[in-house]
């Protein structure tokens, strides 16, 4: 098994190596890939040093699987070139997510859509992944009509430069590179990704469009507000969901508790509810504050948290790679 990680020096790329190791994913040869700035440097994986190469050299090595986390422009240019040499690509950027010829996959939810002919597979957006893991089993039972989401997203979703900005602000540094248009420390920015003509950000529209694609249901009404907050442990989501059918709250808890990849963490009387600190370095999606919305029929409120670098990115990609390896290789 020759496995390439494209964008290996980034936050998600490094996390992918950790998770490959944790999952005991069989890797006979790692091909670490980055830009020309990092090419030639060495990186350690399973007690062995590997030399970082540029994408062109990686393609010539013909890896079996390549996991991309290097941005949309890199994926658009290089994913087809890897696929042409018989390499299966799992892409963490937004480049292929809404391409009708590509599958958008969360393994617990829709791995069954994958086929042996899929050479480029899209990894969904971090906030979408944790939401659909929590909602898919409920949709199957009660049928969702409408979802209202407010996200509280870690700065690690933006990358290392955002973490550097926050740390510099906390140290009182004045002249610092600004990743965000405003300070992030002791602040909340209702501004994830860029604004679009409809007044929503790209991040908010990803939640709408990707959720419908993953669940194969364009009839679900979805609206979102995405907010960046000064934490590094994970993303939180306040989710209000209206179903076609009525439900029993205890049955909701049982369904979630029995669903793959979910931990029900919900005992407010003991101050037990999901937080970024709870989800940090975990691969599961945590669900709590489960309660009926008393203002509207057949409507539920819940609070969903996951580590955005793990389940929101690297873990989901490795899980796709594991499914592909076991079923098609």
**Which residues are identified as catalytic?**
126, 235
DSSP letters spanning 7-28: TTTSHHHHHHHHHHHHTT---S
Neighbours of 318 (CB within 10 A): 27
CB 237, CB 151: distance < 8 Å: yes
Rounded CA separation 103/202 (Å): 20
Instruction: Report the b/e string of 70-89 with b at 16+ CB within 10 A.
Output: bbeebbeebbeebbeeebbb
Rounded CA separation 180/126 (Å): 19
* Neighbour order of strands in the sheet with 88-91: 29-33, 2-6, 65-68, 88-91, 120-122, 103-104
Rounded CA separation 286/44 (Å): 31
Rounded CA separation 142/212 (Å): 16
Burial of 55: CB neighbours in 10 Å, binned 0-12, 13-18, 19+: buried
């Amino acid at each position: 098994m020759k496995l390439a990680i494209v964008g290996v020096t980034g936050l998600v790329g490094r996390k992918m190596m950790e998770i490959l190791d944790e999952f005991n994913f069989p890797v006979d040869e790692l091909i670490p890939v980055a830009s020309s700035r990092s090419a030639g440097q060495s990186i350690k994986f399973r007690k062995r040093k590997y030399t970082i190469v540029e994408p062109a050299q990686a393609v010539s090595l013909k890896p079996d699987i390549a996991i991309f986390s290097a941005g949309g422009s890199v994926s658009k240019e290089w994913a087809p070139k890897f696929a042409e040499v018989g390499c299966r690509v799992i892409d963490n950027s937004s480049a292929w997510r809404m391409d009708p010829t590509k599958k958008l996959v969360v393994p617990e939810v829709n791995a069954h859509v994958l086929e042996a002919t899929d050479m480029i597979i899209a990894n969904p957006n971090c906030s979408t992944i944790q939401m659909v893991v929590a909602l898919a089993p409920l949709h199957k039972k009660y049928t969702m009509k409408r979802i209202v989401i407010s996200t509280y997203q870690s700065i690690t979703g933006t990358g290392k430069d955002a973490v550097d900005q926050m740390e510099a602000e906390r140290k009182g540094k004045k002249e610092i590179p600004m990743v965000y248009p405003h300070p992030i420390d002791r602040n909340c920015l209702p501004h994830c990704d860029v604004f679009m003509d409809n007044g929503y950000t790209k991040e908010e529209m990803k939640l709408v469009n990707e959720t419908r694609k993953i669940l194969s249901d364009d009839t679900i009404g979805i609206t979102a507000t995405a907010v960046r907050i000064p934490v590094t442990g994970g993303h939180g989501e306040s989710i209000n969901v209206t179903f076609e059918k009525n439900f029993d709250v205890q049955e909701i808890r049982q369904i979630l508790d029995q669903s793959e990849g979910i931990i029900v963490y919900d005992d407010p009387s003991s101050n037990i509810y999901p937080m970024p600190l709870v989800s940090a370095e975990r691969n599961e999606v945590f669900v709590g504050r489960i309660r009926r919305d008393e203002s509207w029929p057949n409507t539920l409120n819940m609070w969903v948290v996951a580590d955005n670098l793990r389940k929101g990115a690297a873990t989901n990609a490795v899980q796709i790679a594991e499914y592909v390896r076991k079923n098609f290789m």
